Amino acid sequence: EELLEESGGGSVQPGGSLRLSCAAAGFTFSDFELNWVRQAPGKGLEWISFINKGGTDVFYADSVKGRFTISRDDAKNSLYLQMNSLKFDDTAVYFCARESALLWTPGYGMDVWGQGTTVTVSS
Amino acid sequence: QSALTQPPSASGSPGQSVTISCTGTSSDVGFYDYVSWYQQHPGKAPKLMIYEVTRRPSGVPDRFSGSKSGNTASLTVSGLQAEDEANYYCSSYAGNNNLLFGGGTKLTVL
């Protein structure tokens, strides 16, 4: 079974940092492009970051650009999201999701999702 | 860029058909054929239902179909079943390595 599992969420004060991880199993991780998508409480989905196969290209939504960094370690079958300068508006469930095919940019269609990890930014 | 526009709610009786719209602009939905639809049950992860406007991943029932006309994409669910009750989100590639989601539509099976 193809799986993604996020970890690293928690409660943090504004201005703080967190590092999310996403562990993959059941497929050849290095062959796929990956995204982070978040969902604020009671709200819709928001794409926030993409990394291509090989990790040479990374893209961000304007809402997180300059504060968040996406990376991957294919040897560990893992995806990461380093989140700095956190704001109240960053409170959300964070999902990692696999692109179903290579497009070299986000948007082909995300066919494997983790269950999400919750980030709460609160003073 | 703004999120894609979806109606907040839709409903239908079992066995009926319902269509959910997703309106963007000529820079996203109207320009690219990279529109996807996701189903999300409360407290669960989203599930890919449609990609590339009309294509269904394996395992998704053929009751689910997608289409696009101009700047508006649509998801049609035919032969509604109780388990189809969920939130549905569209997404579209928007150029400049950016992906937009719609605000979501809550589908109620009456």
Residue B24, min C-alpha distance to chain A (Å): 15
Helix (H, G, I), strand (E, B) or coil at A34: strand
Chain A residues near residue B59 by CB distance under 8 angstroms:
none
Amino acid B1: pLDDT? 65
Select the residue of A44, A107, A113 nearest B99 (Cβ to Cβ). A107
Query: Which of A39, A110, A115 should we substitute to test contact with B (largest number of B Cβ atoms within 10 Å)?
Result: A110
A12 pLDDT higher than 70:
yes
Inter-chain residue contact A45 with B98, CB threshold 8 Å: no
Taking all residues of chain B, what is their mean pLDDT, rounded to a whole number? 96
**Dihedral pair phi/psi, residue B33, rounded to 5°:** -95, 40
Chain B residues near residue A57 by CB distance under 8 angstroms:
97
Residues of chain B where predicted confidence (pLDDT) is lower than 50: none
Amino acid A106: pLDDT? 83
User: What does the alpha-carbon distance between residue B63 and residue B49 come to, in Å, rounded to a whole number?
Assistant: 10
Whether B10 contacts chain A with CB within 8 A: no
A26 pLDDT higher than 80:
yes
Taking all residues of chain A, what is their mean pLDDT, rounded to a whole number? 96
**List of E strands, chain B:** 9-12, 18-23, 35-40, 47-50, 64-69, 72-77, 86-93, 99-101, 105-109
What are the counts of helices (DSSP H) followed by strands (DSSP E) for chain A? 0, 11
User: What does the alpha-carbon distance between residue A117 and residue A22 come to, in Å, rounded to a whole number?
Assistant: 9
Spatial CB neighbours of B48, under 8 Å, sequence gap ≥ 6 = A100, A109, A110, A111, B36, B37, B38, B57, B60
What tens digit of pLDDT does each residue of A61-110 get? 999 999 999 999 999 999 999 999 999 999 999 999 999 988 888 889 99
